[in-house]
Amino acid sequence: MHELSIAMGIVDAALEEAGRRRARVSAVHLRLGALSGVVKDALLFSYEVACQDTPLEGSRLIVEDIPVVVYCLPCCQERALKSLQSFRCPECGTPTMDVRRGKELEVFALEIEDGAEMNEARGAEQESEVQKLEVPK
Amino acid sequence: MSEPRLVEVRRNVLKQNDVIARSLREQFRAAGVFVVSLVSSPGSGKTMFLERTLTQLQPHYRVAALVGDLATENDAIRLARSRAPVKQITTGTLCHLEAAMVQNALADWNLHELDFLFIENVGNLVCPSSYDLGENMRLVLMSVTEGEDKPLKYPTIFNSADVAIVTKNELSAAVEFDWDAARASIQSVRPGMQIFRLSAKTGEGMEEYLSFLARQLTEQRAPAHS
C-alpha cells in the first residue's frame, strides 16, 4: 500500500502549482494509467488523509482512468488492451510490448477559483486553459 | 466569485523519483557497474538466490548488494556470509524502495570499484513496480510453490521487469509444477521475456543465469555503436 505516499506527492504538486498562481484549488484532475501500479480506491481514500491540514483540505480528486494502449506492428495501429493479463493485439492476436499509454501518474489539471487568483499571476505563467474538459458541478 | 475554471498543469507525480533514478543510472553507466534489482513476493527465496549469486560471482567479479527490508537486518547478515559488501536499507513501514534511498545508501561507496551491484527490494509484488531505481535490469522472482498463474495475478510488476527467475526448482515435482503453464503466464503478461528456471539451493540452473549476467556486463561496457 504505497498510495499514501503517492497521494502526498499529488498534494505537493497541486500545492506548488496553486501557490505559483496564488489560487485556491477545488479539485485535482489526475490521469491514472492501468500500468501505474496504483490502486484507485486506495488512492482516493489516501488523498483525503493527505489533504488534511493543508490548503487542499475539502478538495476533490477526480481520476481519469487511462487504459493500456499498445502499438501493433502488423496492424500498424494503436490498440487498447482488453486485459492486463494478455499483452496481445485484441484484433490480430500478435504479442506486443510496445506500450504507448497506460503508465501515466500525472496531475493533469487543477480546478481553481478565479476570484481567489491574483491578477498578476495570470500572464506570468504561460498556462493553457483546458477548454474541452467540462468542470463538474 | 465566478465558477471554478480548469488549468492544465501536467505534473508527473513521480517526477522527483524519476529524476534521481536517471541520475543514478548515469552514475552507474559512468562507473561501469551493472545494476540488477530483484522483486518478488515475500518468501520466494530472494535472499537465498542473492546469496548464491554473490558467492558464485565473487571469485570473478567485484560484487556488492543493497537489501531493503521493513524492519530487520537478518537478510544483510545472511548475505554477509558471501563476503561481498552488503548494506541494509531499513524502510520502516514503507513497502518499497525509492531512488532516493538507493542514492543515500550508496553515498559512501565507490561505484568504480564494482562490477555488479544487486538491489534487493522489499518482498512485495505491488508497490515496487511504480519506482524506477536507476537499475539496468529488473529481475522478478517467482518460486514453483507460488503457482503457475502468479504473473497473471500481478501483471503490472511482471510487465515492468526484464527477466523472470523461477526459483526453488528442486521442489517442482513435490508441488507438481506445470512449467508450460508458468511459461505461458509469463509470456502473456510480458511477451518475449527471458526466463531462467533454477534452484538456489542445489545450484541447478545457476550457471546459465550467471553467464547471462556476465554477457550483460560485457555489453554494457562495450563502446557504443556509432
Strands (E), A3-86: 24-33, 60-66, 69-72, 77-80
Interchain CB distance below 8 Å, B11 and A106: yes
Q: B150-173: per-residue pLDDT in tens?
A: 999 999 999 999 999 999 999 999
What does B151-218 look like in DSSP terms, one character per residue? HHHSHHHHHH-SEEEEE-GGGTTTTT--HHHHHHHHHHHSTT-EEEE--TTT-TTHHHHHHHHHHHHH
Interchain CB distance below 8 Å, B4 and A135: yes
Taking any CB pair shorter than 8 Å as contact, residues of chain B touching chain A are 1-14, 16, 94-96, 126-127, 129-130, 152, 155-157, 159-160, 187-192
Main-chain phi, psi angles of A11, to 5 degrees: -60, -45
**Cell 514503507 belongs to which residue?**
B94
pTM for this prediction: 0.88
Distance from CA of B221 to the nearest CA of A (A): 26
Q: A25-58: per-residue pLDDT in tens?
A: 999 999 999 999 999 999 999 999 999 999 999 9
Average pLDDT score over residue span B59-63: 96
Judge whether residue B223 has pLDDT over 80.
no
Tell me the chain A residues in contact with residue B14 when contact means C-beta distances shorter than 8 Å: 6, 9, 105
Least confident of A43-52, B39-48, B171-180: B39-48
- Considering CB atoms only, which of B3, B7, B126 is closest to A127? B7
Binned at pLDDT 50, 70 and 90, residue B82 comes out as confident
C-alpha distances in angstroms, A10 versus A103, B93, B175? 16, 20, 44
- Considering CB atoms only, which of B7, B190, B191 is closest to A109? B7
Give me A78's grid cell.
494503436
**What's the DSSP call for residue A82?**
S
Q: Which helix (H) or strand (E) holds B146?
A: none
